[in-house]
């Protein structure tokens, strides 16, 4: 090879090397950062993200979710039966305190004579009924045992539409099962025709699947913190007037309401609620509540409130919604007075209403 050919070969080799180096610098950021070339960059498994998992959330919450078996006796007389028939109900519950208080659904333990609680570690405990609240379909049980797991709680969970939630319970006695979904809506009130008898409950609606046995179980967020007590699924009537379940619509009693009910039951043996004694409907284009019916034995009637009155303010506060108004009354201590501002036939009236206790009006 002549000297000219040798020089040309060297020049082309150097030029090719420079081109390759520039390409590598542009395509491999690690080389520009001075971290060098690692063989790991050729390992496809390194670039894969870890799979999303809620196992930590379940590990935090699941031990405090229990299976509940309640036994009662059907004494209804039938022609072909003279002896009482034993009935067993299946449900779930949530250990709320280290002292052994458990929240569940009222319909799970209704008319029960014996209640057994089974923990996830295998312990079987007898439970006593502390009290119940049919209006929210909640009940509080008590067990006596040491080293009980307690579900994680926060004072006011910020539950929002779109949040991922996990339902923990014992459907069909299969053992503890987890279902996952999102919060579809909050503030679902007035659902008493569909879910138990919870006229006062401000339900969370979600699509995490609930089946028989899930009632009373925990609804937790992606950290495992309790956000609700699972209740039921949406039910309606088919063309033959038979009850049927609707897929994808399920409900849970929000934590704040469930905790308030539990605290009242533990402290007083019952939930103390204020009672007004009206039915009403909201307007679409103006504030206020139209009174559609008045309980003749209730405090509203005693204060002179009539059907077709429009409630504009309570204690000087403008009405926002019928639900919030009833909630305000429910949380008012019986015996307290509230000032109602009404509109009747273009006249503005004020009246003092002495709130009574729900259930004490005959």
Q: Which residues are known catalytic residues? A: 107, 137, 215
**Phi, psi (rounded to 5 degrees) for 354:** -90, 110
What phi and psi values does residue 62 have, to the nearest 5 degrees?
Answer: -60, -40
Decide if 149 contacts 95 (C-beta within 8 A).
yes
Compute the Cα dihedral for 146, 149, 151, 154 and give only its sign: positive
Q: How many residues does the chain have?
A: 362
Contact 132, 191 (CB under 8 A): no
CA–CA distance, 281 with 293 (Å, rounded to integer): 10
DSSP state of 171: G
What's the DSSP call for residue 81? B
**Cα-atom radius of gyration of the chain, to the nearest Å?**
31
Cβ atoms 261, 131 nearer than 8 A: no
């Amino acid at each position: 090879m002549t000297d000219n050919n040798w020089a040309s070969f060297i020049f082309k080799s150097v030029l090719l090397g420079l081109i390759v180096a520039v390409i590598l610098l542009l395509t491999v950021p690690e080389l520009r950062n001075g971290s060098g070339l690692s063989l790991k960059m050729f390992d496809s498994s390194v670039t894969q993200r870890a799979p999303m998992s809620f196992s930590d959330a379940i590990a935090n919450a699941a031990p405090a979710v229990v299976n509940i078996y309640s036994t009662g006796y059907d004494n209804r007389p039938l022609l072909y039966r003279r002896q009482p028939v034993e009935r067993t109900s299946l449900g779930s519950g949530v250990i709320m305190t280290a002292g052994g208080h458990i929240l569940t659904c009222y319909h799970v333990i209704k008319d029960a004579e014996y209640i057994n609680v089974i923990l996830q570690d295998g312990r079987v405990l007898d439970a006593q009924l502390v009290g119940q609240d049919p209006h929210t379909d909640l009940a509080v049980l008590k067990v006596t045992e040491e080293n009980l797991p307690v579900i994680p709680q926060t004072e006011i969970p910020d539950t929002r539409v779109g949040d991922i939630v996990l339902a923990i319970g014992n459907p069909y006695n299969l053992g503890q099962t987890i279902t996952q979904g999102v919060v579809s809506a909050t503030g679902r009130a007035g659902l008493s025709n569909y879910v138990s008898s919870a006229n006062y409950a401000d339900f969370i609606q979600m699509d995490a699947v609930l089946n028989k046995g899930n009632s009373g179980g925990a609804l937790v967020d992606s950290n495992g913190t309790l956000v609700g007590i699972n209740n039921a699924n949406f039910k309606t009537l088919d063309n033959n007037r038979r009850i049927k379940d609707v897929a994808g619509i399920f409900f849970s009693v929000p934590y704040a309401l469930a905790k308030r009910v539990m605290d009242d039951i533990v402290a007083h043996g019952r939930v103390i609620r204020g009672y007004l004694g009206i039915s009403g409907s909201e307007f679409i284009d103006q504030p206020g509540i139209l009174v559609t019916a008045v309980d003749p034995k209730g405090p509203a009637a005693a204060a002179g409130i009539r059907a077709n009155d429009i409630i504009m303010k309570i204690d000087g506060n403008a009405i926002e919604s019928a639900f919030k108004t009833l909630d305000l009354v429910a949380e008012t201590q019986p015996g307290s007075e509230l000032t109602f501002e009404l509109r009747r036939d273009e006249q503005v009236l004020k009246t003092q209403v002495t709130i009574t206790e729900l259930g004490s009006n005959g």
